[in-house]
């Protein structure tokens, strides 16, 4: 109360802000925020407004156009049909493998490295490799034919499966890395506690580890799904870009780069982002139904 | 600050509007962007020009990119008033896209007199030039296709008519292949050539004039296993026996055999009454380049259109024959080029080129419409059956 | 295990251990079986590209007719790959460095503080990862050109930072959350300012997380075609531009040369990854585990 | 770092969102004092310490160092040292580097840094471990590194947040002596946070007892031990027997109260009238088991549970009227024994009890 | 789960890599016993418990439940209950579901599960919190959930790993009583790990003291309290005064030893001859301050440090010959006071000391 006159209002504000968690350290956010606002938000707003300024028709006519054309509208379904199972498989396959990778054993470092290395392959090599390897005269079919498992080469490229495999190859390492880190955030003591309570390994997993892992899996699924949803080069290279793998980003690409209809392309891209957001919102809403607090393992 | 288009006027990067001098005031650095694979044919010409005329072009840089993204990049540069690409080498698609967006400088008729070589265009090349309007200058030309290609060891007598092709495909299901037209030169040529072969009402109007073509493709599609996403793969399938009969062009016939992707003994066949659907590469200048650069590029183009330089366009049959102007002999081409064409070229091409009418391809809009319809009805149609 | 009910003779100690391992097997077998199958196929995929890129011609046979390195030589000359690789390395190092420099402090603030509007900030950082570059690539390039920042290396770096910075933020946040905030408090009580805390205390502790984020950013940057192409000048093309050209340019290109390009691309990434992994144990990429006893 | 003669906390408060963690803390600390902040888990001890350190901004109030206002300074400019509950050693630095960290931050000359580090190492007897990393030390050694790190730059104030809570009993005892010794030999001013009343009693010159963010009592160890200001403090200070009851008679400071049918004489702490609800508090060790000859506060009870605790036994006994008593004795007793108990009325404290402040799970309900 | 009448550990050992965490543990546990494993941090207590639970495979030895060998069974088939140090409650399950977990795993009928869960909830007095998640409970409540979860399926053996170490002093005291009550009322057999000797003394029927993976002593609380088998155990059991010395005379069990120039009489524990090196051990509370009239083991010393600890004071005093003594007294003494001290020879234990087993940081060096 003594002699703090000029300080008063300032201190008052500081106190009010401090209570809400606002203090000096938030300056650290500023560079990143400025950066993203300057280089992303502004151009992105441009794309957004562009989508409401179609070459002809009212502000929403490009959106209407997209949804009134079954061929275009169908791309959403096609994309989901590829991206959802691929993301799901990536996440689900990562779980048991990551589960096995807990604890210490010899060669763990090597195995982890090998599991992460496919990150480096890139879309093009994956696509070329799939065409070569799974193609009608590729080694895969040759082995099948040579062992008389099939009489005719199995067609695994230029259709749904080609794209699917390429998404698995590129998406799995991501999913694996993330799942592994979430899994190791769960205190292994919990599973031991379940064991002393009479749970065999299957029930330990389903009743204890899995429910605790679910939030992490949801996040991983979201990230993998985003990667898979924007699948583009491989949909063209190893898929059937005119038909069953005509994904939504291909529709946007054609609008932008074949028809040079940027407003329409923006509109499609917005729809694409919206669909992604919807799926992510659904997954995150489901995630919030699971227990999301500390799982004991992390600092 | 609203969310308006970021195309507010900025400062110019040098004089872009005034009078274009005969020679640049000082030597320029030229950035060439190739989106058509044209440098394979013309880089030798450009290098030679730069070597001979250092006072015009002091340095040249090359970059290459797939065509579709071209417009976006030029737009971005023009929106910011900083165009640093001096010369774009492009095919019909990139050219048309730029015209529609107003990206290119109209070189004609303003600079007609500086480009004397244009008077000596081969007739079909001249037709391609007319297609380009005033923006592009044809630098290389070839008659393209449609041709059929097969291995004599696997297929003794290829079909020679449209009906025979259909019958053959029916008799040999999954053995006929062509790539998705949007991704493939031969596929595209086949698509555009069919209306002439089938005698459609308006071969230039895919929406309403191609009834027979669409019906034919649909029926043919029943016997096609799948449409690869690139010509390379049809070639590979031909080589490994998965496909017996594929669609090709002159360049795609010769060059892959030179490269070894297709066995040397592969043969071509033609369909009765086919018209060549020609193709060409163009040189264009984006709006916003300085007058000095414009002057330098014009001088370069004039040089490139001389017969001696055009002979380099024979290459290894990549764009066979290649030259756009008359009177260019194979014998004046580089030795390597001559050797390749002698070994892998086909004597019958001269007769075929002479004996069949040439047609310019569809304009960009119609072509996109044709692709789109093909995707919806032919390529996409495959799905529902399989 | 039912045999244990009978009173057994004294066994040497390792018998029990061996039995234990066998008991653990069926589940492990399936998992490792699937993994091995996946990797055999992956190996096939990679090997077929590798073999093809060295093949002279490869028709309907198990292996090519002959071998040559000419596809590499061609690609090398055609794209002046040496300078392209140098540019790619420079760009990726710059992007990785800058995105860490900008992203880690932001991740720190997000990990440590809760403040009003945090969700909004989070969404702003999530969007660049969600939105395809089509929506913002061209206007972004225009902005960069307008300020003279595009058409050279700075443009490529800035454009690639747009998705990289949020990516660093999203991956680093959990890693920072794992560090005991009291260690920072301790440093501050010793008289260290925020900058010193970052340099002297946080950075050394975050090394595994930083490397993980760096690797993922690196992979994304080297593979980012659209933004790079839109902002690159003739001297600042990266490898992926050449790769996309070789893959999707009109005109004739032998399959093997595409394969060769893809192999070059992958080897470069692999070298970068292996170099990175030399300095960090991949198992450290994840949270410190309370180690389970060996079973 | 300037020494001070007095540090004054003036209405220091801290809220988290809607929840108050610390409310209106007023406290004056004289140079050289050893102050302990005491209270149950979650009462705001660490919050108070962090506010003092500058690690947590205040939401109201101010802190004055002599005539200088310091609550707006960042922690690194206040010049206080701090020992953290979990030590918070820098895991990537050696013992030596950990201790020298604060000196390096102050850019002291190399020679000086080395000298003072060596001195601090000697003080905490870690000369042999200088080059180890914290992960290679035992808990007690880590503890000593944390203390050395906090005092090496001779801070004007040392803050300690439950520095001993992770140690086992034997080590805790040893470290306690060590801390007291350091405080005296270096002439430090210390604020020490703990939830262990014995620790607080044995170390501090003055204790501050907190409960739900509010100061309950400030006083010397003896005051707190013998005269807790209210029954919450008493509860915390080891008055394990807390019985709810009703005042039946008041004679100045001596009141008679009835709890579970038992009439007991005790000393009133606070304002009590006849008929008022009250809480009676007495320590287990203040219940005498050899109370046969006693007349006042004599109780006869049956032993129910006995725990061996070395020299003494801890036991639970129930009076015939049902009152449960915790007691400690050196007498050998066994469950089922009938015992005569007595409580010195001066040792039985009677507190007023409002309906809002029920002792939960305590008193006559048991 | 079948009850048993005797559980036998036979040479149970566990190594981690090269390091032995537990060596040759032999122990027989009778049904209904309460056994405490005691020892300093890192001595192998948790390792022993985990081996018993089946969470850690043995590297040697065997475990027998009556005539059945069980060390090869996985934990879920041994039917033991375990309370983990950190509780290890399932954070995603409510209190009720946590407690019912073990019953569900045994596929008991719904009705039965409900009934027994309710009973366990009543036993640990958590009826009001059934639907909360563990994160919403205080430490003591979590503790009780962990105990209820471990005992609800009436295991033949309950293992507890330092269940009270995270609680504050007051709560710890309460929970201790609770655990003992549960053990008795349910007729459990319990193995309890702790590093707190007072806890062990007050709870267990038998104590097992470990040091560096080896059993030091097994015995009743009284045996351990009054007659530790060697000076390490003594050190751990609260004999804070440990002096190194030399035996000067042996009279049966009474030996005279000299330490720092001071001659002291004590009781020999172990084999001692004249001239042998010895360690003298005495508890602080066994040093009497009013030792003026004493003739045997009388010491005159100066008080150096005094700590207030409520009723008693803890002090350090140094004899004229330089021996440092820790003592506890109710007498009011102050630093600088001259005091006459005395030690009952029966309370002063004399242990043999091999050069290999020096008391580190202890004894006359201080
Ligand atoms: N960052 C925070 N956000 C919200 N509430 C908090 C935060 N930190 C502390 N609190 C709350 O403030 C109150 C006081 O916390 P504080 O850490 O000061 O307790 P404490 O007395 O140190 O307890 P302990 O003995 O358990 O360490 C608690 O109720 C706590 O839940
Ligand atoms: N997983 C492990 N790997 C290697 N060493 C281990 C492991 N677990 C325990 N140890 C070692 O075994 C010894 C005994 O450990 P244990 O956990 O049994 O100690 P403890 O008596 O329970 O100690 P505390 O009181 O600190 O819990 C210690 O030296 C420890 O370092
Ligand atoms: Mg605290
Ligand atoms: Mg332990």
Q: How many CB atoms lie within 10 A of CB B324?
A: 29
Nearest to D311 by CA among D291, D337, D286, D285: D285
Q: Is residue E1 a part of any domain in this protein?
A: no
| Average pLDDT across chain D, whole number | 85
Residue B95 clears pLDDT 50, i.e. is over it: yes
pLDDT band at E159 (very low <50, low <70, confident <90, very high): very high
User: Min CA distance, E213 vs chain A (Å)?
Assistant: 22
pLDDT in tens, B281-293: 899 999 888 888 8
Q: Poorest-confidence range of A5-19, B65-79, C109-123, C204-218?
A: A5-19
ipTM of the complex: 0.76
Task: Report, as an integer, the average pLDDT of B225-238.
Answer: 84
Query: What percent of chain E has pLDDT above 70?
Result: 94
Quick one: pLDDT at residue D332? 85
pLDDT band at D174 (very low <50, low <70, confident <90, very high): confident
User: Min CA distance, C233 vs chain B (Å)?
Assistant: 8
Task: Report, as an integer, the average pLDDT of C215-231.
Answer: 83
D109 lies in the same domain as D28: yes
Binding-face residues of D in 156-215 toward A, CB within 8 A: none
User: Min CA distance, A149 vs chain B (Å)?
Assistant: 19
pLDDT band at A295 (very low <50, low <70, confident <90, very high): low
Residue B384 clears pLDDT 60, i.e. is over it: no
Residue B7 clears pLDDT 70, i.e. is over it: no
pTM of the model as a whole: 0.79
pLDDT in tens, C181-210: 788 888 888 888 888 888 888 888 787 778
Q: Is residue E233 a part of any domain in this protein?
A: no
pLDDT band at C212 (very low <50, low <70, confident <90, very high): confident
Q: Is residue A13 a part of any domain in this protein?
A: no
Q: D195: domain range?
A: 6-226
Residue A159 clears pLDDT 80, i.e. is over it: yes
> Given CB atoms, is B261 within the 8 Å cutoff of chain A?
no
Q: A199: domain range?
A: 75-287
Verify whether ligand 1 is closer than 6 Å to residue D211 (CB atom).
no
Q: Is residue D68 a part of any domain in this protein?
A: yes
D33 lies in the same domain as D170: yes
Q: Is residue A292 a part of any domain in this protein?
A: no
Contact C46, A129 (CB under 8 A): yes
The closest residue, in CA terms, to atom 25 on ligand 1 is D41
Contact A159, B226 (CB under 8 A): yes
pLDDT band at C226 (very low <50, low <70, confident <90, very high): confident
pLDDT in tens, B323-347: 888 888 888 888 888 888 888 888 8
Quick one: pLDDT at residue A4? 42
The CATH number assigned to the domain holding E60 equals 3.40.50.300
Residue A1 clears pLDDT 90, i.e. is over it: no
Q: Is residue D348 a part of any domain in this protein?
A: yes
Q: Does the CA dihedral B51-B55-B57-B60 come out positive or negative?
A: positive
Domain ranges of chain C: 15-68, 72-294
Quick one: pLDDT at residue E358? 43
Contact E78, A200 (CB under 8 A): no
Q: Is residue D232 a part of any domain in this protein?
A: no
Residue D139: partners with Cβ closer than 8 Å, 6 or more residues away: D166, D167, D171, E41
Q: What is the DSSP string of D188-230?
A: --EEEEES-HHHHHHH-SEEEEEETTEEEEEE-HHHHHH--SS
Q: Is residue D235 a part of any domain in this protein?
A: no
Judging contact as 3 or more Cβ pairs under 8 Å, the answer for D and E is: yes
| Average pLDDT across chain A, whole number | 81
Quick one: pLDDT at residue A11? 63
Residue D138 clears pLDDT 90, i.e. is over it: no
D204 lies in the same domain as D292: no
Quick one: pLDDT at residue A8? 55
pLDDT in tens, E44-91: 888 899 999 988 889 999 999 988 899 888 888 888 899 987 788 888
Task: Report, as an integer, the average pLDDT of E192-217.
Answer: 88
Q: Is residue A27 a part of any domain in this protein?
A: no
Residue D108 clears pLDDT 70, i.e. is over it: yes
Ramachandran sector of residue D152 (left: φ over 0; alpha: ψ -120 to 50; beta: rest) = alpha
**Strand B147-150 vs strand B267-269: parallel, antiparallel, or unpaired?**
antiparallel
Q: Which residue of E has its CA nearest to A203?
A: E105
Q: Is residue D1 a part of any domain in this protein?
A: no
pLDDT band at C288 (very low <50, low <70, confident <90, very high): very low
What is the fold, at CATH topology level, of the domain defined by C72-294?
Answer: MetI-like fold (1.10.3720)
pLDDT in tens, B348-364: 888 888 888 888 888 88
Task: Report, as an integer, the average pLDDT of E259-267.
Answer: 86
Mutation for testing the A interface, residue in C102, C261, C286 having most A CBs under 10 Å: C286
Residue C75: partners with Cβ closer than 8 Å, 6 or more residues away: C81, C242, C246, C257, C260, C261, C264
Q: Poorest-confidence range of A10-14, B24-28, D264-268?
A: A10-14
The alpha-helical segments, DSSP class H, found in chain C are 13-23, 25-54, 70-78, 81-112, 118-130, 133-146, 153-177, 181-189, 194-196, 203-223, 226-231, 239-248, 255-279
Contact D66, A24 (CB under 8 A): no
Q: Poorest-confidence range of A35-39, C177-181, E27-31, E298-302?
A: C177-181
**Paired strand residues for D20:** D15
pLDDT in tens, A203-226: 888 888 888 888 788 878 888 898
E105 lies in the same domain as E170: yes
Quick one: pLDDT at residue C291? 36
Q: Is residue A229 a part of any domain in this protein?
A: yes
| End residue of a domain, out of E171, E192, E226 | E226
Residue D56: partners with Cβ closer than 8 Å, 6 or more residues away: D14, D47, D50
Residue E192 clears pLDDT 90, i.e. is over it: yes
Omega within 30 of 0 (cis) for the link into B146: yes
Contact C240, C222 (CB under 8 A): yes
Judging contact as 3 or more Cβ pairs under 8 Å, the answer for B and E is: no
Q: Is residue A57 a part of any domain in this protein?
A: no
Query: What percent of chain A has pLDDT above 70?
Result: 88
E-strand ranges in chain B read 28-34, 57-64, 87-90, 137-145, 147-150, 176-177, 245-248, 267-269, 276-284, 322-323, 358-359
CA–CA distance, B44 with B57 (Å, rounded to integer): 15
Q: What is the number of domains present in chain D?
A: 2
Task: Report, as an integer, the average pLDDT of E32-46.
Answer: 86
D151 lies in the same domain as D75: yes
| End residue of a domain, out of D193, D226, D259 | D226
Whether D105 and C191 lie within 8 Å, measured CB to CB? yes
D250 lies in the same domain as D147: no
Residue B186 clears pLDDT 50, i.e. is over it: yes
Question: Phi/psi of residue B353, each to 5°?
Answer: -65, -40
E307 lies in the same domain as E345: yes
| End residue of a domain, out of D198, D226, D254 | D226
Residue C46 clears pLDDT 70, i.e. is over it: yes
Neighbours of chain A (3+ CB pairs under 8 A): B, C, D, E
Q: What is the DSSP string of A111-161?
A: HHHHHHGGGGSHHHHHHHHHHHHHSTTSHHHHHHHHTTS-SS----SSSHH
Query: What percent of chain D has pLDDT above 70?
Result: 94
Binding-face residues of A in 5-44 toward D, CB within 8 A: 7, 11, 14-16, 18-20, 23-24
pLDDT in tens, A252-289: 888 887 778 888 888 888 898 888 888 888 887 887 77
Looking at the CA of residue C293, tell me the nearest atom of ligand 2.
Answer: 1
Residue B143 clears pLDDT 90, i.e. is over it: no
Q: Is residue A45 a part of any domain in this protein?
A: no
Task: Pick from B370-374, E13-17, E127-131, E188-192 the range whose average pLDDT is largest.
Answer: E188-192
Residue C266 clears pLDDT 80, i.e. is over it: yes
Q: Which of B241, B259, B318 sits opposite C60 (nearest CB)?
A: B241
Residue B12 clears pLDDT 60, i.e. is over it: no
Quick one: pLDDT at residue E281? 93
Chain mean position to CA A96: 19
E212 lies in the same domain as E251: no
pLDDT in tens, A78-107: 899 999 999 999 998 888 888 887 766 677
E44 lies in the same domain as E144: yes
Task: Report, as an integer, the average pLDDT of B25-39.
Answer: 86
The CATH number assigned to the domain holding A86 equals 1.10.3720.10
Whether A196 and E55 lie within 8 Å, measured CB to CB? yes
Quick one: pLDDT at residue C281? 55
Contact A270, A201 (CB under 8 A): no
Residue E187, Cβ density class (10 Å: 0-12 exposed, 13-18 middle, ≥19 buried): exposed
Q: What is the number of domains present in chain A?
A: 1
User: Min CA distance, E78 vs chain A (Å)?
Assistant: 8
The closest residue, in CA terms, to atom 30 on ligand 1 is D42
Q: Is residue D352 a part of any domain in this protein?
A: yes
Q: Which of A4, A7, A18 sits opposite D59 (nearest CB)?
A: A18
- Tally: H helices and E strands in chain B: 15, 11
Quick one: pLDDT at residue A86? 93
């Amino acid at each position: 109360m003594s002699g703090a006159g000029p300080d008063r209002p300032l201190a008052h504000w500081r106190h009010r802000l401090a209570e809400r968690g606002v203090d000096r350290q938030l300056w650290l956010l500023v560079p990143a925020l400025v950066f993203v606002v300057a280089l992303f938000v502004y151009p992105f707003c441009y794309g957004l407004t562009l989508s409401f300024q179609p070459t002809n028709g009212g502000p929403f006519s490009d959106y209407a156009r997209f949804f009134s054309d079954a061929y275009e509208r169908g791309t959403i379904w096609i994309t989901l049909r590829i991206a959802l199972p691929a993301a799901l498989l990536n996440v689900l396959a990562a779980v048991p493998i990551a589960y096995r990778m807990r604890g210490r054993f010899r060669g763990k470092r090597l195995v982890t490295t090998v599991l992460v290395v496919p990150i480096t392959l890139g879309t093009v090599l994956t696509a070329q490799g799939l065409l070569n390897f799974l193609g009608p005269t590729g080694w895969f079919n040759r082995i099948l034919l040579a062992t008389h498992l099939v009489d005719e080469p199995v067609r695994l490229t230029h259709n749904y499966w080609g794209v699917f495999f390429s998404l698995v190859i590129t998406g799995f390492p991501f999913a694996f890395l993330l799942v592994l880190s979430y899994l190791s955030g769960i205190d292994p003591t919990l599973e031991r506690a379940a064991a002393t309570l009479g749970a065999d390994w299957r029930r330990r997993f389903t009743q204890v580890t899995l429910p605790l892992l679910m939030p992490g899996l949801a996040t991983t699924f979201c990230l993998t799904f985003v990667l898979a949803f924007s699948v583009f080069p491989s949909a063209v290279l190893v898929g059937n870009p005119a038909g069953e793998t005509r994904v939504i980003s291909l529709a946007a690409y054609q609008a932008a780069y074949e028809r040079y209809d940027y407003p329409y392309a923006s509109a499609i891209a917005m729809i694409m982002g919206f669909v992604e957001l919807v799926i992510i919102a659904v997954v995150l809403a489901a995630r919030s139904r699971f227990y999301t607090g500390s799982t004991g393992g992390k600092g | 600050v609203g969310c308006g288009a970021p195309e507010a006027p900025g400062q110019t990067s040098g004089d872009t509007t005034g009078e274009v001098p005969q020679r640049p005031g000082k030597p320029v650095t030229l950035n060439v962007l190739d989106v058509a694979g044209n440098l394979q044919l013309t880089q030798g010409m450009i290098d030679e020009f730069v070597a001979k005329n250092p006072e015009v072009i002091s340095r040249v840089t090359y970059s290459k990119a797939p065509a579709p993204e071209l417009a976006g990049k030029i737009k971005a540069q023009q929106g910011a008033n900083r165009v640093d690409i001096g010369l774009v080498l492009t095919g019909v698609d990139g050219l048309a896209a730029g015209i529609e967006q107003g990206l290119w400088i109209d070189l004609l008729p303003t600079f007609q007199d500086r480009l004397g070589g244009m008077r000596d265009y081969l007739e079909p090349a001249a037709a391609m030039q007319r297609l380009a309007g005033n923006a592009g200058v044809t630098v290389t030309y070839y008659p393209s296709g449609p041709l059929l290609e097969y291995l004599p060891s696997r297929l003794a007598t290829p079909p020679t008519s449209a009906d025979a092709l259909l019958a053959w495909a029916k008799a040999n299901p999954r053995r006929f292949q062509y790539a998705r037209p949007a991704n493939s030169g031969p596929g595209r040529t086949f698509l555009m050539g069919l209306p002439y072969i089938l005698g459609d009402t308006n071969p230039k109007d895919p929406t309403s004039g191609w009834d027979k073509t669409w019906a034919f493709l649909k029926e043919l599609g029943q016997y096609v296993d799948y449409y690869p996403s690139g010509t390379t793969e049809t070639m590979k399938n031909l080589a490994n026996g998965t496909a017996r009969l594929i669609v090709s062009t002159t360049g795609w016939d010769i060059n892959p055999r030179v490269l070894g992707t297709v066995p040397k003994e592969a043969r071509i066949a033609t369909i009765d009454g086919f018209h060549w659907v020609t193709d060409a590469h163009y040189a264009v200048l984006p709006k916003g380049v300085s007058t000095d650069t414009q002057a330098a590029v014009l001088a370069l183009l004039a040089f490139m259109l001389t017969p001696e330089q055009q002979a380099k366009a024979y290459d290894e049959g990549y764009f066979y024959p290649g030259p756009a102007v008359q009177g260019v002999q194979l014998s004046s081409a580089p030795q390597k080029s001559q050797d390749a064409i002698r070994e892998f070229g086909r004597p019958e091409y001269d007769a075929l080129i002479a004996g069949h009418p040439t047609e310019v391809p569809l304009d960009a809009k119609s072509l996109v419409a044709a692709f789109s319809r093909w995707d919806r009805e032919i390529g996409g149609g495959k799905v529902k059956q399989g | 295990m039912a045999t244990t009910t009978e009173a057994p003779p004294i066994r040497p100690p390792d018998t029990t251990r061996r039995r234990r391992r066998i008991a653990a097997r069926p589940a492990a077998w399936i998992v490792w079986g699937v993994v091995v199958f996946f990797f055999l196929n992956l190996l096939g995929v990679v090997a077929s590209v590798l073999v093809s890129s060295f093949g002279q011609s490869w028709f309907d046979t198990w292996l090519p007719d002959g071998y040559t390195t000419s596809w590499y030589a061609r690609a090398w000359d055609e794209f002046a790959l040496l300078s392209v690789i140098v540019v790619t390395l420079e760009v990726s190092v710059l992007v990785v460095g800058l995105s860490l420099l900008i992203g880690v402090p932001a991740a720190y603030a997000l990990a440590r503080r809760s403040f009003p509007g945090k969700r909004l900030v989070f969404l702003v950082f999530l969007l660049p990862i969600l939105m395809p570059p089509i929506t913002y690539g061209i206007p972004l390039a225009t902005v960069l050109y307008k300020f003279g920042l595009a058409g050279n290396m700075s443009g490529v770096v800035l454009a690639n930072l747009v998705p990289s910075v949020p990516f660093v933020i999203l991956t680093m946040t959990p890693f920072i959350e794992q560090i005991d905030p009291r260690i920072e408090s301790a440093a501050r009580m010793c008289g260290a300012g925020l900058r010193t805390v970052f340099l002297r205390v946080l950075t050394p502790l975050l090394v595994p997380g930083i490397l993980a984020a760096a690797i993922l950013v690196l992979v994304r940057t080297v593979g980012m075609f659209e933004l790079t192409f839109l902002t690159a000048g003739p001297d600042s093309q990266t490898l992926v531009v050449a790769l996309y050209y070789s893959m999707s340019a009109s005109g004739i290109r032998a399959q093997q040369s595409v394969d060769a390009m893809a192999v070059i691309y992958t080897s470069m990434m692999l070298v970068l990854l292996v170099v990175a992994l030399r300095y960090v144990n991949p198992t450290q990429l994840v949270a410190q585990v309370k180690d389970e006893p060996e079973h | 770092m300037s020494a001070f003669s007095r540090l004054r906390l003036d209405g220091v408060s801290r809220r988290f969102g809607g929840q108050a963690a610390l409310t209106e803390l007023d406290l004056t600390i004289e140079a050289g004092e050893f102050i302990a902040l005491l209270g149950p888990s979650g009462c705001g001890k660490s919050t108070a310490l962090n506010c003092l350190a500058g690690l947590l901004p205040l939401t109201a109030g101010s802190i004055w160092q002599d005539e200088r206002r310091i609550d707006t300074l960042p922690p690194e400019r206040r010049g206080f040292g701090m020992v953290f509950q979990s030590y918070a050693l820098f895991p990537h630095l050696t013992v030596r580097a950990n201790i020298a960290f604060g000196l390096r931050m102050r850019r002291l000359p190399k020679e000086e840094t080395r000298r003072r580090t060596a001195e601090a190492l000697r003080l905490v007897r870690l000369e042999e471990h200088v080059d180890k990393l914290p992960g290679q030390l035992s808990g007690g050694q880590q503890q000593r590194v944390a203390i050395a790190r906090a005092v090496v730059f001779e801070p004007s104030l040392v803050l300690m947040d439950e520095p001993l809570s992770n140690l086992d009993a034997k080590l805790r005892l040893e470290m306690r002596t060590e801390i007291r010794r350091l405080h005296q030999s270096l002439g430090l001013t210390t604020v020490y946070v703990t939830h262990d009343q014995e620790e607080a009693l044995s170390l501090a010159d003055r204790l501050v007892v907190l409960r739900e963010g509010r100061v309950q009592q400030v006083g010397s160890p003896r005051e707190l031990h013998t005269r807790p200001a209210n029954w919450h403090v008493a509860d915390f200070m080891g008055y394990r027997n807390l019985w709810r009851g009703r005042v039946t008679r008041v004679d100045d400071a001596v009141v008679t109260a009835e709890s579970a049918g038992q009439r007991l004489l005790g000393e009133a702490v606070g304002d009590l009238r006849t008929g008022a609800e009250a809480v009676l508090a007495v320590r287990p060790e203040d219940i005498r088991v050899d109370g046969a000859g006693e007349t006042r506060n004599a109780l006869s009870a049956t032993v129910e549970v006995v725990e061996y605790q070395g020299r003494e036994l801890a036991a639970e006994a129930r009076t015939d009227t049902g009152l449960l008593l915790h007691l400690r004795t050196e007498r050998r007793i066994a469950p089922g024994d009938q015992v005569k108990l007595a409580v010195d009325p001066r040792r039985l404290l009677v507190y007023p009890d409002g309906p809002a402040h029920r002792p939960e799970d305590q008193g006559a309900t048991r």
